[in-house]
């Protein structure tokens, strides 16, 4: 990736962070920490990697993205709005009664949402089913599943991690947004899930680690995962910072599910200017 393109992505991600914080503040509730940590990954996916068309959200050959960590949907909503799936002004209706932008994504109410998620641990199973259906139908679409590292404490995740290699789902790419935090504190203190790459390889996955905020590195690992047909699913362990971009939110689990007040939003937006 050329430096100019990388700078464009950085600027876009900064604007998306501003949208995320503004909509959560407007709603008075939401999950800023994990939304900010995953923004850079989603930016690379939607603007550099995935095949998708906002004019045809049901295009059969599109790539699919399952946001298993559904509480981080403000990040996905911000991305979809900027990508043209719906008007950006709709972001300010987050969590309002009757709005299609609820606190967890609803695939029946908003174009671009592939799966209704929110009960942690279930998204990878949905993605496995999508990838298996695509393989059986001989489609070329790829399936991406974004999980949190705290989410990996759920046993259903590991059933899905066992299933994907069995069926040779090499068009399935799991991305772990490994920001080290969850609602009850730091993941390592609540229930340590490391060492992740070694665990995934022992389950039969191709596994790599990457700095989840390094746009060029993230794009390279996606390109590598999508080359050829290895017969194995791929998992990218993206090391990220919870609350990335806002100094008083970074690495603080208290911002997992707390909306910023107006003065806190103003401080955050100044940092992201």
pLDDT tens string 147-168: 999 999 999 999 999 999 999 9
pLDDT of residue 133: 98
pLDDT of residue 140: 92
pLDDT of residue 175: 98
Segments of the chain scoring below 70 in pLDDT: 228-229
* CA 11, 13, 17, 19 torsion-angle sign: positive
Alpha carbons within 13 A on the beta-carbon side of 102: 15
Residue 32: which of 236, 218, 261 has the closest Cα? 261
Question: How many domains does the chain divide into?
Answer: 1
Other Cβ atoms less than 10 A from the Cβ of 152: the count is 23
pTM given for the model: 0.97
pLDDT of residue 9: 96
pLDDT of residue 6: 87
pLDDT of residue 4: 82
pLDDT of residue 244: 98
pLDDT of residue 110: 97
pLDDT of residue 3: 81
Q: What CATH number is attached to the domain comprising 7?
A: 3.40.50.970
Say how far apart CA 29 and CA 14 lie, in whole Å: 21
pLDDT tens digit string along 35-57? 999 999 999 999 999 999 999 99
- The domain of 86 spans 3-271
């Amino acid at each position: 990736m050329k430096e100019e393109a990388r700078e464009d992505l950085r600027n876009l991600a900064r604007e998306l962070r501003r949208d995320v914080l503004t909509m959560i503040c407007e709603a008075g509730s939401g999950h800023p920490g994990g939304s900010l940590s995953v923004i850079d990954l989603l930016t690379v996916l939607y603007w550099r990697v995935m095949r998708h068309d906002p004019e045809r959200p049901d295009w059969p050959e599109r790539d699919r993205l399952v946001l298993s960590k559904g509480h981080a949907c403000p990040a996905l909503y911000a991305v979809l709005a900027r990508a043209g799936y719906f008007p950006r002004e709709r972001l300010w209706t987050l969590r309002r009664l009757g709005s299609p932008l609820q606190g967890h994504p609803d695939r029946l109410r908003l174009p671009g949402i592939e799966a209704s998620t929110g009960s942690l641990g279930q998204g990878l199973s949905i993605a496995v089913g999508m990838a298996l259906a695509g393989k059986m139908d001989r489609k070329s679409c790829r399936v991406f599943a974004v999980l949190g590292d705290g989410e990996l404490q759920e046993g259903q995740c590991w059933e899905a991690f066992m299933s994907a290699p069995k069926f040779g789902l090499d068009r399935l790419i799991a991305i772990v947004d490994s920001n080290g935090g969850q609602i009850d504190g730091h993941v390592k203190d609540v229930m340590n899930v490391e060492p992740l790459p070694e665990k995934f390889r022992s389950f039969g996955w191709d596994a790599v680690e990457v700095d989840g905020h390094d746009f060029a590195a993230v794009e390279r690992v996606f390109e590598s995962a999508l080359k050829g047909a290895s017969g194995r699913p791929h998992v990218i362990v993206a090391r990220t910072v919870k609350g990335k971009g806002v100094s008083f939110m970074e690495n603080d689990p208290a911002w997992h599910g707390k909306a910023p007040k107006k003065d806190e939003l103003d401080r955050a937006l100044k940092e992201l200017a």
